[in-house]
Chain A
Amino acid sequence: MEPDLSGALYVGDYRALLVADLHLEKGSSFVRRGLCIPPYDTRSTLSRLEAVVQRLKPSRLISLGDSFHDKSAGDRIDAADLDSLRRLCETMEVCWLTGNHDPVLPGQLPGRVASEVALGPVALRHLPRARLETQFEIAGHLHPVASISRRGRRITSRSFVADETRIVMPAFGVYTGGLNVSSPEIASLFANNGFTAWMIGRSALYGFCSSVLD
């Protein structure tokens, strides 16, 4: 398994690319509150995804839920963006896991929809389970970011969080915020021996064990 600089996770044995929390059309969702946030987030997130697909050439793509920010995202998405999403999906097998933001996915979407899938012994789902019934779980939902202090500077970045039983993936969408890995929602998933946070830098990933993080 290789955490990628883009925030995706590549599982080589299955040639599967995993992404979590794309939150497509998050920008346009604010229009209901009367805010016209720049609607280019879908475009940016998709081109980030295209880039990693071209680089790693997976045969399947699994999106771990909250792929769309809300139920009506499919109505708001720009035709050109929907086209490029479709073209991208033609190149491989696609599976959309449902999330709390998108319990129902837009109808016009290629690929299959599921609430959970298994990749061999690994369970893939949106919400991480507090108690694992399988050997290993990969989930999203929590948008982890990690901070570390060095030389009087604090650096914060999106981050994979992992121990020997699970991985929580960082959010992939460009408008997604983050939750610090030290917050109880994340830290409590890794109660016993702590975890490793893989912080996403500009040119590489850097792994730190939880005791050295802020």
Chain B
Amino acid sequence: MNARMFEQTAELPEPFARWFERRGWKPRAHQLAVLAKVQAGLNVLLIAPTGGGKTLAGFLPSLVDLVASGAGHGVHTLYVSPLKALAVDIARNLEKPVSEMGLGITVETRTGDTPAHKRRRQRSSPPDILIATPEQLALMIADPHAKVLFRNLRAIVLDELHALVASKRGALLSLGLARLNRLAPQARRIGLSATVARPDVLQAWLVPQRPDAPLAHGELVLGPSGPVPRISILKSVERVPWSGHSARYSIGEIYDVIKQARLALLFVNTRSQAEVIFQELWRVNDATLPIALHHGSLDVAQRRKVEAAMAGGRLRAVVSTSTLDLGIDWGDVDLVINIGAPKGSSRLIQRIGRSNHRLEEPSAAMLVPSNRFEVLECEAARMAVREGIQDSERMVVKKLDVLAQHILGMAVHAPFHPSELYQEVVASFAYRDLARHEFDQAVEFVATGGYALKTYERYARLKSLPDGRLRLAHPRLAQTYRLNVGTIVEDEMLKVRLVRPRQTGRPLAGYGGRLLGEVEEWFINSMAIGDTFIFAGEVVKLEAVEELTALVSRTKSSEPAVPSYYGGKFPLSTFLAARVREMLADPLKQQNLPVQVREWLSLQRYASVMPRADEMLVETFPRGNRHYLVCYPFEGRLAHQTLGMLLTRRLERWGAQPMGFVASEYALCVWMVRDANLLISSGRLSLARLFDEDMLGDDLDAWLAESMLMKRTFRTCAIIAGLIERRFLAKEKTGRQMTVSSDLIYDVLRSHEPDHILLRAAWEDAAEGLIDARRLAQLLARIKGKILHRALDRISPLSVPVMLEIGREPVYGEANDALLEETARSLIREASGSEPQ
């Protein structure tokens, strides 16, 4: 299919040919190929690296068509971009050739920031090319005038498609496209994507599907692949730490590298890592290089300032989380430094692509592992990038909460017939497997909440018309829909405000301190008053938590008490994990590793054993007065946490008296009172049974009933589906008395209607997300009959990293009562409390 691709080139008509010529450019083969295919009426997926003229390739067919058929007949091309800022940037870049060629084509953006009067004007006199986000598309098709607006739509360009399809925004977009296909069946689709493992899936995602028919695919056009990036791994002369994530050991060496670069972009995985690295860099910043910090929790004004300084060439380095992964080129970055685990090869490729946006020159990147296991992961990632191998991204499909939102939106647009809407929805790739009864449940949920208890029949949000169509019961609901549209749900955030330190025994003086930014509520809730943590580049102490504000004070301490590496959102990819296991198993693959790491691994072979790539090693050993069981699944922290929770439940039941566990990206360690070696050798504990897949049944259910992770997931679904409202800053004055916390709703719903559509939606999300049960299930299946056990008399070299996490990471368990009791007792001893009755 690909071989003939470049034969079908198109002639570039005037004035485009002249414009290219005048600039000394030649249209690239893939740009012409896209043009030819769109002109032939085909849908196209273009895969090309950054800097390959991808955006122009997406617009060229529209510009050519507009010149030929005349502008000013309504929206001709809809361009969907995942980022607001990117939309604005693209409009600016497009306006340049349009005005230079004098095409008389209008280009406008529509994002959340577009004022209402401009949106109204866009409706009455629409631009030829409209650049919008997926949320804005949802709002536009929900508009009663959508039919008019998109009457003459000829092209839909989807930018950064590989990123969109992997999130719920992709599911929303997929539904929006299905509607557009009804409003404007003549419109062609052009998908723009970075390199992916499975282009065929994206090709299918792009185009309308027919139920019960084989998958339809758009045409594929491949751009040139740029030169292989130059990736190095920091070979530190320092000792690479056994565990931890701060990469402090390498700060001096990182600083030296920054000095050599024009502008270095430092990527880390979590906000707290960003804070630590930023602080450490300034500590060694003898030359006072302008080094800035950029992450999602910082005040927006602060972030905009950093972006402007980058673009203006006033910075030498920026420490950033994933906030700068995608999108705009803020400056002339010539070096990317990735600190910590790369997590996945696609993600690394994306990040490396932020440097050096000239296609012909290779990008330069340096990886800095922050501990020994990460050395292995960095090496695996480096090899993968060199071989051009991508992780296979999972597409987000059939999300019922997103469907519920869409159904409400379609009712806002006009009364709809359920059967017709169902046919439309299953034509989208993301919902092609949706069963009719699932759809009907979603409709019922939108109308009355879908409860067995029929409290809301009288108040139904959708009412039947005599012809069987459903209409919105009240225009007010349209307003609610517009306020809640979208699938991005932020964690509940608390403002962080600086106050003077609390004097003993006295209340805090003055709440009017400087606003430092926002932080996730769960993060603060996991902390005790008086704990110190790093925020906005300073070590601060938590003084008090008001309803929506965390009050903090400056401290002199340089060592925060809460290390709070909360893993970040992205687990180690399955592909990289397999690579790391292979590397561990095969000494020949370890030749590129630093000597100290190779020594560590050979010590493990000597003191215990190194598992084969398809085996899972379990080690048991005593230490102090406890007994430890350490296993090495390499499936990421989230899956390991779930495994730890389930293993401790089982061990409890089997009398091993487990006391706690700690999970890392690579390993899991459980400690217990009883002698694990003895339990196993005497046959009272069978590892095969311990790791049996049946743990994913009742044990998992029982744990989920209590799990905070499940509650967080439920909250997201409840907001997307419109069960509860988003918390808007303007509304916060009304306080929480006027709302119901989603945690309480979860508890009540679960005990009365465990099969409710939203609980199912939340469970599926959690299984792929915070609980990662999907990955755990894969692991349990993979290691069946392949558990390699070693009973040791002491700690093994391989277990040292995870053992060191004990005490640094929160230990899981539902021991609130035990803690309360212990607190009460110790306070009684101090004679400061009163006795419990």
Contact = CB atoms under 8 A, between A and B. Distances in A.
A157 B725 CA distance: 25
Nearest to B450: A36
Contacts of A209: 832-834
A3 B739 CA distance: 27
A177 to B, nearest CB: 4
A110 interface: no
B557 to A, nearest CB: 16
A136 interface: no
Contacts of B505: 211
Interface stretch (A23-31, A88-96, A113-121, A122-130): A23-31
Interface of A, secondary structure class, is mixed
B529 A152 contact: no
Interface stretch (B324-332, B394-402, B745-753): B745-753
Most chain A Cβ neighbours within 10 Å, of B546, B725, B745, B832: B745
Interface in B817-836: 817, 819-824, 827, 832-836
A85 interface: no
Nearest to B525: A154
Contact of A206 (B449, B525, B740, B821): B821
Contacts of B835: 207
Interface stretch (B69-77, B208-216, B472-480): B472-480
Contacts of A183: 546-547
Contacts of A182: 544
A31 B827 contact: no
A154 B817 contact: no
Contacts of B751: 40, 44
Contacts of B525: 154, 156
B508 to A, nearest CB: 10
Contact of B477 (A26, A27, A34, A150): A34
B831 to A, nearest CB: 10
Contacts of A41: 748
A148 interface: yes
B453 A34 contact: no
Contacts of A180: 545, 547
Contacts of B724: 35, 37
A42 B488 CA distance: 32
A148 B823 contact: yes
Contacts of B451: 36, 38-40
A206 B748 contact: no
A209 B737 CA distance: 26
Contacts of A153: 526, 528, 810, 816, 819
A138 B832 CA distance: 25
Contact of B453 (A2, A78, A174): A78
A194 to B, nearest CB: 10
A44 B449 CA distance: 18
Interface stretch (B45-53, B455-463, B638-646, B778-786): B455-463
B819 A30 contact: no
Q: Chain A: interface residue count, which band?
A: 35 or more
Given A35-B725, A37-B740, A212-B827, A204 B821 contact: yes
Interface in A2-17: 2-3
Contact of B461 (A3, A36, A40): A36
Nearest to A213: B529
Interface in B671-730: 722-725
B741 interface: yes
Given A38-B749, A40-B453, A212 B833 contact: yes
B529 A149 contact: yes
B728 to A, nearest CB: 13
A206 B819 CA distance: 11
A196 interface: yes
B527 interface: yes
B545 A196 contact: no
A3 B836 CA distance: 11
Contact of A36 (B448, B546, B561, B827): B448
A207 B530 CA distance: 21
Contacts of A155: 816, 819-820
B741 A177 contact: yes
Nearest to A45: B748
B732 interface: no
A39 B453 contact: yes
Contact of B723 (A35, A43, A174): A35
Contacts of B1: none
Given A37-B723, A37-B745, A205-B837, A149 B453 contact: no
B531 interface: yes
B459 A152 contact: no
B691 to A, nearest CB: 29
Interface in B776-834: 810, 816-817, 819-824, 827, 832-834
B827 to A, nearest CB: 6
Interface in A163-214: 174-175, 177, 180, 182-183, 196, 199, 201-209, 211-212, 214
Contacts of A206: 820-821, 823-824, 836
Interface in B628-642: none
Contacts of B834: 196, 207-209
A2 B17 CA distance: 89
Given A31-B456, A37-B740, A208 B816 contact: no
A76 interface: yes
16 contacts: A27-B740, A34-B474, A34-B480, A38-B745, A40-B453, A44-B751, A147-B529, A148-B823, A150-B819, A154-B525, A154-B528, A155-B819, A174-B744, A206-B820, A207-B834, A212-B833
Interface of B: 448-449, 451, 453, 455-456, 459, 461, 474, 476-477, 480, 505, 525-531, 544-547, 561-562, 722-725, 736-737, 739-741, 744-745, 747-749, 751-753, 756, 810, 816-817, 819-824, 827, 832-837
Interface of A: 2-3, 26-28, 30-31, 33-41, 43-44, 76, 78, 143, 147-157, 174-175, 177, 180, 182-183, 196, 199, 201-209, 211-212, 214
Given A155-B820, A174-B744, 19 more contacts: A3-B837, A26-B740, A27-B745, A34-B474, A35-B724, A36-B449, A38-B451, A39-B449, A40-B451, A40-B753, A41-B748, A76-B455, A155-B816, A156-B525, A157-B816, A177-B737, A177-B740, A204-B817, A206-B836
